[in-house]
Structure 1
């Protein structure tokens, strides 16, 4: 809340300074995740495959255009709870191709290429194209990333919020609400800058480090932790934290013995409503950290330097800014000198 209040004036000034933007001219052709996508006319309805895509659409005031949603990690942002309750959820996780097509959307808005892409588990772009439905995938899953290496892909360069801002701007253009997109991006950029400034004032000691724990297939198995290139890596980079995980995979598995030897200063754990794996439950995560013979000996556990973030805030999305704010504020409360 502090950071949001801090940036209110700046956001207002930025919004006033924005020039009037031109109406979208159709047909609109964009290069999206390496594919040419043509939008024939302003979409009247879309199905979203991925929570990040859904929440961007809601944030742009396009909830009335959303015919159905899918792939949820956690509850929708509270300000959209009432809106979301009135929109059909096709699936908590992966929807079927048939269920998406049955909604007769003018556009499918996608978060991950592994859902809709060359080897998409829902469908390929070509399959949707065959029934006359264009696909738009959020650039955050494609820019500087190789998605041919498995479900989560491999980052070839450090993720930046710029790819999220690009997705917001392009979706705003597609739906002919460009000014809403510019205002939303200005708001998020102001909050991002304020969080980074707050952390910079802490003057963290050299070697201050962190590990981001998303989940584990079983509690006694190696955890899925954040690699060097994704959204958590971006947060660590801009806040002055070292990532103890060296892999360029998006979410590699790393043994607790290896993590304990690195002895991260801070542990960031994901909280989610999804229950695909036992460690999706944050209480089970915390119990494991307190009782496991190896994990419990880490300084971060012994000194209660554990930060809980919404899982979706660890994936490329507009929630990265809220996560950045939460982490920056948590660091101010730790004795790291």
Structure 2
């Protein structure tokens, strides 16, 4: 490996001007050289990157949305199917791994930039690699800003807000010198959020309580449900819906007996193509809810107030706003009388 690293370090430069034996011709960009603070580190770029590897579906679809698919040379860490509008462009781009790629497979593609959805993928203890390893080869790295949230005065993690998604949009659009597209995307999301809030208020959804079930290590084990800091918590607080789980974590494990005692009006379950666990399958979630002696007695199950939601919308992604809209649309026609 030392031979490989030595060879790559001669070919990949921090400026991103030389990749392999091919010289890339950049146009004169207005905001370069550029420095961006990212999760406690400074990302330095002298020109927009031309060769990008993505480690995470959220950053992949964000780059596609900004019209940067031609810069993406490889993707990885897929949670569900690519969004319909990106199927054609995504089909032309190599998938390095369904889950996390190796460090060697990433650097062998000679990227200028590696983007990641999670700090545990590309961070101090990154399962793919850490920023210093990539930097030593002249490769910049960037982690979505939702991973960089701080802590409250009591040490609990800061709750997700759209601001962190907007910061990722601003940073990536600046790195690629497409700020106008980034600003337009932010305005679009802000408008959709305002419309969803207004719709929810008209429908009096603020009288409801809910629980979000993401998955479980085993269908019979305690589920991972939404705490007070993740995207589902933002959805509920934005619409005025009570989260029955009061735990300062993103996805705490909570027993069904405790959930049944709280008896939420609505249960939201995640739908994903990933199959690490049996409970990743939303059909198995439904079967469990309707057959288990504890859960089948819950009001939401008896009255069929169960919402199926794209799991990717429950993460800090462009689909978060779609999840918010879907929740309003799914709850609106439900029979909530006598809940």
Question: Fold match, TM over 0.5?
Answer: yes
Match of 1:78? 84
Q: Which residue of 2 aligns with 1:301?
A: 301
Quote the residue 1:201 is aligned against: 202
Residue 159 of structure 2 aligns with which residue? 158
Root mean square deviation, CA, Å = 1.5
Superposition pairs for residues 1-337 of structure 1, below 5 Å? 23-144=29-150, 156-204=157-205, 206=207, 208-337=208-337
- Quote the offset at 1:226 in angstroms: 0.9
Question: Bigger CA drift: 135-144 or 154-163?
Answer: 154-163
CA distance change for structure 1 residues 205 and 314 in 2, over 3 Å: closer, same or farther? closer
**Cα distance in 1 for residues equivalent to 2:144 and 2:76:** 15
User: 2-side partners of 1:155 and 1:280: how far apart?
Assistant: 28
- Show structure 1 runs of 5+ residues with no match: 1-21, 147-153
SS for the counterpart of 2:211 is strand
Three-state SS of the structure 2 residue aligned to 1:176 is coil
| C-alpha separation in 2, matches of 1:63 and 1:69 | 11
Q: TM-score, normalised by structure 2?
A: 0.88
Give 1:258 shift: 0.9
**In the alignment, is the contact (CA less than 8 A) between 2:49 and 2:113 conserved in 1?**
yes
* Contact kept? 2:157, 2:248, Cα under 8 Å: yes
Do the aligned partners of 2:210 and 2:242 also contact (CA within 8 Å) in 1? yes
Cα 1:43–1:145 change in 2 (3 A) is: farther
Please tell me whether the aligned partners of residues 199 and 331 of structure 1 are also in contact (alpha carbons under 8 angstroms).
no
Note the C-alpha offset of 1:103. 1.1
Deviation string, structure 1 residues 95-142 (Cα, Å, up to 9, x no partner): 111111111111111110010111111111111111111111110121
Q: Is the Cα–Cα contact under 8 Å of residues 205 and 239 in structure 2 kept in the other structure?
A: no
- Secondary structure at the counterpart of residue 196 of structure 1: helix
- The separation in 1 between residues aligned to 2:90 and 2:301, in whole angstroms, is 37
SS at structure 2 position matched to 1:55: helix
Are the counterparts in 2 of residues 155 and 230 from structure 1 also a CA contact under 8 Å? Answer: no
Superposed displacement of residue 204, structure 1: 3.4
Measured after TM superposition, the shift of residue 23 of structure 1 is: 4.9
CA contact (8 A) 2:272 2:310 kept: yes
Q: Which residue of 2 aligns with 1:14?
A: none
- Please give the per-residue CA displacement for 1:190-233, whole angstroms capped at 9, x wherever unaligned: 11111111101122364x21111110111111111111011000
* Number of aligned positions between the proteins: 308
| Partner Cα separation in structure 1 for residue 44 and residue 30 of structure 2 | 13
Tell whether the 8 Å contact from 2:289 to 2:296 is kept in structure 1 after alignment: yes
User: In 1, distance between residues paired with 2:264 and 2:169?
Assistant: 34
Q: Secondary structure at the match of 2:251?
A: coil
TM-score by length of 1: 0.89
Give the C-alpha shift of residue 336 in structure 1: 2.6
Larger gyration radius, structure 1 or structure 2: 2
